[in-house]
Structure 1
Amino acid sequence: MKNFLFPDVVPPSFMWVRPERGDMTNVHEWIQPIMSTSDPEKSKDADIVLVGVPLSRSSIRSSGASEFPEAFRRSWKSFTTYNLDEDIDLSEMMVLDAGDVPMHVTDIRKCHDTIIQASAALHHYFPTTKVCAIGGDHSITAMMVKGLHQAKPDEKIGILQFDTHFDLRDLSDNGPSNGTPMRNLIESGVVKGSDMYNIGLHGFFNTKELKMYADEKGVNYITLRNARKKGIEETVQRCLEKLAASVDTIYVTVDMDVLDIAYAPGVPASTPGGMTTDELLEGVLTAGLHPKVKAMDIVCLDPLRDSHVQGTVKLGTHVFLTFLSGVKLRRE
């Protein structure tokens, strides 16, 4: 069945059959496929609309991150809508699954153009709804932000990035890959370097040249060591406060490689010395609480590399639900 966003967004490859009545205590019973919405106008009141962006051909190294949107949806049955830590029930929110952005089999540039088009359509149709993109590799972030910029050209956009890497590689060498989204946004004039904040950099996984470029463009970055000294929550809050003083909209991007390899085996570029699960969830919850955070994504999670229990996939879903918890708490 086609939805009203077709052809910008198409039905996902996997959907749960939702019960027609009764209490919806599990996530797979609660999130509504947008195709089931009988009144498209009413859907504009949704709190969250999620969209799968199954692209990983643009990854620097071999990645099955394109498989995450389906694995993400399949994992919902393992989660309830009740957050014990915050004593809130997410089922009171309206969350819609828009489906997936259609991908070309071989043409990466066409895929990126399609993502921009889909993002613009989502932000145009859902002007006050938080749009959450489920990647896919990190190249999708530049395209989702460009689509947001197309839909709302008068709004100044800032980026809060959880990442082990700068993602500022040279486009002339790497193209629009998962190693270049932040540079792509800077050089395209969509986001200023001074309106980017990266939390989580650590260890031996970035070159000095990338740091020099970040300094030249005014990119703000907080190493994981320094973030831990100040506290993750306080660090994120300070970054959001500084961003909020200069931008209209904050886009949060969560590269799952920010996590230590011990916590995220299902990540192509996972490293030792990264964030713990608790640290990332604390940071994402803090971001979700901020009123200027209006969009986010989760990227670079490869279910094909994950353990047989799909622990990293479940963690990705936990990150998503934690962000939603922050969005709900900001209203309370």
Structure 2
Amino acid sequence: MENFSYLDPGKPAIFKDQFVTKVNECIVPFTDGAKGEIGLIGLPFSKTSISFSQAAEAPKTIRACLSSYSTYSGEQNKGYEDVKIIDFGDVITHPTSTDESIERMFISVREMLDQDVCGRYILLGGDHGVSYPSIRAFQEKYGRIGIIQWDAHHDVRNLENGGRTNGTPFRSLLEGGFIQGEHLVQVGIRDFANAKKYHDYTKANGIAVYTMADIESEGIVQIVRRAVERLSSLVDVIYLSVDMDVVDQAFAPGCPAIGPGGLTSRELLNSISEATQHEKVIAMDIVEIDPSKDFRDITSRLAANVMLKFMYSGK
């Protein structure tokens, strides 16, 4: 009888179907000379959250959820097993200094971009404060940058009450001169979730704001399609910033700022798929998931699906 071992030390005992390629199997760590279609980086920082949050744990949780999905799209009848994802790892943040952590994230994202080994990028937060250093890095690399922000909140809070927080990234970018107001589109802004002062700030700065009422009457795919078409004529590249609290609490219970009346998971996925069709859309961050607040990784699994739509939408 031939000797055969069913032990594989150091590796999980998982079922493997020879005809199925899981998304996580397409992820390879960055090494000199490596090239791929998608660059992936984790920004595990949530100390700027105005409410208690362990969103710093989200990058590893979302990565783990990718093992639940195959690279085959039945809707497109197309396999994406040859799409290589280059993982640049997670930024090592400072244990106490917020300013130092923000600078480290900026440097690390810019370092990833300077490698020029990928055409598109996914950044996993972290709270929404990580978008400030990330978008700065993209702006420095590519020039004029347009942003579509999926969010229940404007995230243009003042900087006097607490400094830079997860509620200030877009005010920080605007007042730092890194973006222009007319190049920012906010989608999914929820009722009774913001202050009049910040509503007025968005209008004064030329930010395009689409509320849940607008989505209900016009449809989110049509709104996003128009936004991408308009931005593409004004900017060099487009960056998608997905705050998962834009989704209704029924579909995303793992967000620190959950609430009713948000997007369904299908609305989010369809709108991401629509935006990703345009060649100028080169990056997306996903933020505001606290795995400790989640149930059976519902929110992280949705985030993983958002990644699939960004990576595999037939571009």
Fold agreement, TM-score > 0.5: yes
Are positions 1:124 and 2:95 aligned together? no
Structure 1 residue 317: Cα displacement: 0.7
Structure 1 residue 173: Cα displacement: 1.8
Matched with 1:163 is: 151
Q: Which amino acid aligns with 1:32?
A: V
The counterpart of 1:214, out of the listed 186, 197, 202, is 202
Matched with 2:309 is: 322
Q: Which amino acid aligns with 1:27?
A: V
What secondary structure, in the 3-state scheme, does the structure 2 residue paired with 1:173 have?
A: coil
Structure 1 residue 252: Cα displacement: 0.4
What secondary structure, in the 3-state scheme, does the structure 2 residue paired with 1:171 have?
A: coil
Equivalent residues of 1:174, 1:180 under 8 A apart? no
Matched with 2:6 is: none
The counterpart of 1:281, out of the listed 269, 281, 287, is 269
* Structure 1 residues 149 and 75, CA gap change in structure 2 (3 angstroms): same
The counterpart of 2:22, out of the listed 15, 20, 26, is 26
Matched with 1:306 is: 294
What secondary structure, in the 3-state scheme, does the structure 2 residue paired with 1:172 have?
A: coil
Structure 1 residue 54: Cα displacement: 0.4
Q: Which amino acid aligns with 2:91?
A: V
Structure 1 residue 24: Cα displacement: 6.1
Unaligned runs of 5+ in 1: 1-14
What secondary structure, in the 3-state scheme, does the structure 1 residue paired with 2:214 have?
A: helix
* Structure 1 residues 263 and 273, CA gap change in structure 2 (3 angstroms): same
Equivalent residues of 2:191, 2:212 under 8 A apart? no
Q: Which amino acid aligns with 1:292?
A: K
Alpha-carbon deviations, 1:49-74, whole Å to 9, x = none? Answer: 11011000110100110000111122
What secondary structure, in the 3-state scheme, does the structure 2 residue paired with 1:197 have?
A: strand
The counterpart of 2:74, out of the listed 73, 84, 104, is 84
Are positions 1:108 and 2:94 aligned together? no
Q: Which amino acid aligns with 2:133?
A: M
Structure 1 residue 30: Cα displacement: 1.9
Question: Partners in 2 of 1:250 and 1:278 — Cα distance?
Answer: 22
Superposed counterparts of 1:54-203, under 5 Å: 54-126=44-116, 129-152=119-142, 155-203=143-191
The counterpart of 1:291, out of the listed 279, 295, 298, is 279
Structure 1 residue 179: Cα displacement: 0.2
May I ask how many residue pairs the two structures share in their alignment?
302
Question: Partners in 2 of 1:119 and 1:77 — Cα distance?
Answer: 25
Percent same amino acid among aligned pairs? 34
Question: Partners in 2 of 1:287 and 1:110 — Cα distance?
Answer: 33
Larger radius of gyration: 2
Are positions 1:259 and 2:251 aligned together? no
Alpha-carbon deviations, 1:289-331, whole Å to 9, x = none? Answer: 1111111100000100011x211111111111111122xx12x
Q: Which amino acid aligns with 1:130?
A: R
Structure 1 residue 170: Cα displacement: 0.6
User: What TM-score comes out, normalization by structure 2 length?
Assistant: 0.92
Q: Runs of at least 4 residues of structure 1 off by over 3 A?
A: none
Structure 1 residue 288: Cα displacement: 1.2
Question: Partners in 2 of 1:224 and 1:167 — Cα distance?
Answer: 16
Q: Which is worse superposed, 254-263 or 77-86?
A: 77-86
Q: Would you tell me which structure has more helix in proportion to its own residues? A: 1
Structure 1 residue 196: Cα displacement: 0.2
User: What TM-score comes out, normalization by structure 1 length?
Assistant: 0.87
Equivalent residues of 1:24, 1:30 under 8 A apart? no
